[in-house]
Structure 1
Amino acid sequence: MNALAGILKRRIAERGPLTLEAWWEAALFDRAHGYYTTGNPLGAEGDFITAPEISQMFGELVGAWCVMAWRGVGRPSPFLLAEIGGGRGTLIADLLRAALRLDADFARAARLRLVEVSDRLAAEQLRAVARFDLPARRVRRVEELERLPLILVGNELFDALPIRQIVFDGTAWRERLVGLSPDTERFAFVSGPPLTKGPPGLGPVEAGAVYEASPARSALAATLARHLAANGGAGLFFDYGHWAPGPGDTLQALRRHAFADPLAEPGRRDITSHVDFAALAEVFRAGGLQVAPPATQGGFLLAMGLLERAGALGAGAEEAGREAIRAAVERLAGSGETGMGTLFKVLATASAPLDLPPFVQAPVD
C-alpha cells in the first residue's frame, strides 16, 4: 500500500466515505503524494501522450492562432501570453518558436506566464522556454496573473479537474462516494443517501444512469472569464469530451498507456473524465465573452493549415520522415481508432469577436 492510500484509508475510517471530487483532488494534486505533483505522467515512459508530444505541428499552429488572436483583440502591449497546465513545456516551446517568427511586435509585447501547480513540471517548463528572449515567470494560480490582456492556451486541462457523480437507483438519485470494501483492503464505490432532487434538464432515465458535474471545471472557467472580460484577450482549450450534455459514466484511469482501476493506487495513475464543453461554454458566455461554435481538434487544425505545414516539413525529408509526418497528421486530426481528431474538441473564447478558426469555421459535430 502506497503512502497516499494509507492516508485516504484512515480518513475514510475516521470520517466516512469521500466524494469522488475529494478523492480525485487528493489522488492527483496532493502536495506530497499526488499524481501530478510527484509523478512523471507524460511521454512513452509515462502513462499517456498528448498532442504536443506527437508533433511540433500542433504547437506551431497554436502559436499562429495566438498571434492572430492577439491582433484580433487590438494588439495590446504589454500582454500576457500564458499556458495553464503545460506538462513538460513542449507545447509552449513549439508555440513560441512559431509565434515569435511570425510577428516581431507580438514578441516585443508578450510577457510569458506559466500557470502550473507542480513544482517539478514548472521547472521543466521554465527550462523549455529559457532559450526564448521573453520575460517569463511561473505562477501557481490564474488569480496570480497581472491585470493585463491575456492570450491563454490549455491542452488537456479541464479533464484533469475533479468531477462528482450521482447515480439513479431506480427510485432516487444518490451521490457516488468512495469508501472501503467490506474487508477494508480495497477502495470501493458506495452510495450516499437519497438526494432531494436530481440533475436539472434530464428526462426519464433508467436505473443505473450516471450524471456527472464538475464544480471545479466551472469555477476555473469562471475565473478565466473574469480575467478576460476585465482585461481583454482570448483563450483556446483542447480536451476530449462532448458538446451535447447528458447521462453517462466517463470516469477512467490510465496507467502505462492502458486503462486501469481509478480507485487503485491513488497518486500513481491518471484519473480523468470527458469534459462537458456545453457547460464550460455557458460559463464563458455568462461572463460576457464570445464563444466559438463547437469544433473538433481535427477540424481546427486543418482550418489552421495542418496539411500545408505537413507538406512543408516533408518536402526536404526522407521517405521515413515523410511517413512519420503523415502518421502524425492522422493521429492529430484523424477519426480512426487512434486518431484524436474527432474525440478531442476545441473551445475558443474571447473578449471580442475574432475572424479566425474556430470562430469562422462551420460547426462540427
Structure 2
Amino acid sequence: MTTLQAEIAELIRQEGPLPVGRYMALCLGHPRHGYYMTRDPFGSGGDFTTAPEISQMFGELIGLWVAHAWRASGAPARFRLVELGPGRGTLMADMLRATRIVPGFREALSVHLVETSPALRARQAATLQGVAPVWHKTLAEALDGPVIAVANEFLDALPLDQFVMTPEGWRERLVGLDAEGGLCWGLGACASPDAGEQGTVPIGTVFEAAHDALSVVTQLAGHVAREGGAALLIDYGSLRSGFGDTLQAMRRHGFADPLAEPGEADLTVHVDFERMGQAALKAGAALHGPATQRELLLALGLAERAQALSLKADAAQRAAISSAFDRLIAPGETGMGDLFKVLALSQRNLPLLPGFDLHRLPDRG
C-alpha cells in the first residue's frame, strides 16, 4: 500500500466515498505524495513520452505556428507566450529556437509557465536557462493582455467526474473501500449530470463531466476573445462528443489499474474536443478545428522539415528522424497521428490559422 493510498483510505473512512475527480486530484496533485509533485515522469526512464520528447521537429513547427498567430493578431509589441503543463521545458525551448528567425517576435514576448510541480519547475528552469520564465500555479495568474497559449497533453490530466446509467437513472461513480480496506469502485445516489441531448442511454453507459478542462478552455477562450491572441490545444481524445469510461493509468509505458497504486501512476482521460469547442464558442472565441495531429503537422511542413534535417544527418540520425516522423503522424496504435487532436481558439477577427484550413466546427453559439 502506498503512503497516499493509506491517506485516501483514511479520508474515505472519515468522509465517505470520493468522487472520481477528487480521487484524481489527490493522486496527481497531493502536495507531498502526488504523482506530478514528486518526479519527472517523462521519457524512457519514466512512465510515458510526449511529442516534444520524441523530436525537436514537433516543437519547432508549433513555434512557427505561434509566430504566425502573433502576426495574425497584429504583432503586438508586448504579449505573453503561455504554456500549460510545460513538462521538462522541451517544447518551449524548441519553440523559442525556431522563432529566432521571426523579426520582432522574441523582443515582444515574455514566457509564462503554468506549473504546480516543484520537481518539474526545477527541470524547466534548467532547460530554459537564459529565458527567465515566470511560473504560475493557476492559468488565471498567467493571463494578462494579449496571450498566445499552448497546451500539449495538459487537458487529459485534469480531474473529471463520472456518472453511470442504472435502472434508477444516472448515479455518480465513487471510490470507496472494500471489505479488506482496499480501494474499490462504487455508485452514489441518483444524480443529474449535464450530459446534453442523450435520448435513450443503455444501462451501464458512462458519462464523463470534464469540469476542470471545460473551465480552462472557457478561461482561455474568454481571455483571447477580449484581449487578443490565440490558444492551441493538443491532446488525445475524440473529435465528437460521446459516452464511455476513458480513465486510465500509465506506469512504465504500460497500462495499470487506476486504483492499484495511488500517486505512483499517471492518471489521464480522453479529451472531448467537441465539448471543449462549444465551451470556447460560448465564451466568445473563434474556433479553428478540431483536426488530427497528423493533419496539423503535415500542413505545417513536417515532411519538409524532416527532409531538411536528414540532409545534414548521418545514417543513424536519419533513421531516428524517420522513426520520429512516423511516430508523430502514424495512425492507429503505432503512432500519435489520429489519436491526438488539435483545436485552436482565437479572437473572432483573426483569419483561419495554419493547419486548420479544412477544419472548423460550425458556430452554434
Aligning the two structures, in what range does the TM-score lie when normalised by the shorter sequence? over 0.9
1:46 alignment partner, SS class: coil
Distance (Å, rounded) in 1 between the aligned partners of 2:358 and 2:301: 13
Q: CA deviation at 1:131?
A: 3.7
Q: Aligned equivalents of 2:102 and 2:151: distance in 1?
A: 22
Which secondary structure does the structure 2 equivalent of 1:293 belong to?
A: strand
Q: Please, which of 215, 219, 232 is the counterpart of residue 215 of structure 2?
A: 219
Q: Distance in 1 between matches of 2:222 and 2:264?
A: 34
- Measured in 1, the distance between the counterparts of 2:195 and 2:60 equals 41
Q: Report deviation, 1:146.
A: 5.4
Instruction: Return the offset for 1:362.
Output: 4.2
Query: Structure 1 stretch 336-345 or stretch 303-312: which is displaced more?
Result: 336-345
The runs of 5 or more residues in structure 2 that have no matched partner are: none
1:161 is aligned to 2:155: no
The amino acid of 1:164's aligned partner reads: D
CA positional deviation for 1:196 = 5.2
Gap change, CA 1:77 and 1:195, over 3 Å in 2:
same
Contact 1:154 1:238 in 2 (8 A): yes
Alignment check: 8 A CA contact 1:167 1:210 kept: yes
Check conservation: 1:291, 1:359, Cα contact below 8 A: no
2:269 is the counterpart of 1:273: yes
Which residue of structure 1 lines up, in the alignment, with residue 322 of structure 2? 326
Among 129, 134, 138, the residue aligned to 1:141: 138
Output the amino acid matched with 1:286.
Answer: K
- Which SS does the other structure have where 2:61 is aligned? helix
In the alignment, which of 194, 197, 210 is matched to residue 201 of structure 1? 197
CA distance in 2, matches of 1:337, 1:161: 23
Aligned length: 360
Deviates more, 1:188-197 or 1:353-362: 353-362
AA in 1 matched with 2:47: D
Residue of structure 1 in register with 2:148 after alignment: 151
Instruction: Output one character per residue of 1:273-296: Cα deviation in whole Å (capped at 9) or x when no partner.
Output: 100111111111111111112200
Aligned to 1:24: 24
**After the TM superposition, which of the residue ranges 311-320 and 123-132 deviates more from structure 2?**
123-132
In 1, are the aligned partners of 2:40 and 2:119 still within 8 Å (CA)?
A: no
Partner of 1:116: 115
Q: What is the TM-score normalised by the length of structure 2?
A: 0.95
Deviation per residue, 1:229-279 (Å, 9 max, x gap):
221110011100012111111111001000000011111100011001111
Question: 1:123 corresponds to which letter in structure 2?
Answer: A
CA distance, structure 2, for counterparts of residue 197 and residue 275 of structure 1: 17
Amino acid paired to 2:123 = E
* Contact kept in structure 2, 1:170 and 1:208, CA below 8 Å: no
Query: Could you tell which deviates more after superposition, 70-79 or 33-42?
Result: 33-42
Q: Secondary structure at the match of 1:254?
A: strand
The 8 Å contact of residues 160 and 211 in structure 2, kept in 1 or not, is answered as: yes
Q: Which residue type is aligned with residue 129 of structure 1? A: L
Contact 1:23 1:178 in 2 (8 A): yes
TM-score of the two chains, using structure 1 as the length reference: 0.95
What's the CA shift for 1:198? 7.1
**Amino acid corresponding to residue 94 of structure 2 in structure 1:** D
| Whole-angstrom CA distance in 1 between matches of 2:274 and 2:281 | 11
Residue 128 of structure 1 corresponds to 127
5+ unaligned residues in a row in structure 1: which ranges? none
Q: CA deviation at 1:6?
A: 1.1
1:258 counterpart = 2:266: no
Q: Which amino acid in 1 is paired with 2:93? A: A
1:290-319, Cα deviation, whole Å (9 max, x unpaired) = 111220001000000000000000002122
Q: Distance in 2 between matches of 1:319 and 1:332?
A: 20
**Does the 8 Å contact 1:39/1:268 carry over to 2?**
no
Instruction: Find out whether 1:62 has 2:58 as its counterpart.
Output: no
Check the 8 A contact 2:99/2:106 in 1, yes or no. yes
After superposition, the Cα gap between the structure-2 partners of 1:210 and 1:258, relative to the gap in structure 1 and judged at 3 Å, is same
* 1:230 and 2:226 correspond: yes
Q: Map 1:282-361; keep pairs closer than 5 Å.
A: 282-351=278-347, 352-361=349-358
Which aligned runs of 4 or more in structure 1 are off by greater than 4 angstroms?
none
* Cα distance, 1:177 vs structure 2: 0.2
Question: What letter matches 2:270 in structure 1?
Answer: H
User: Is the 2:165–2:203 contact (alpha carbons within 8 Å) kept by the matching residues of 1?
Assistant: yes
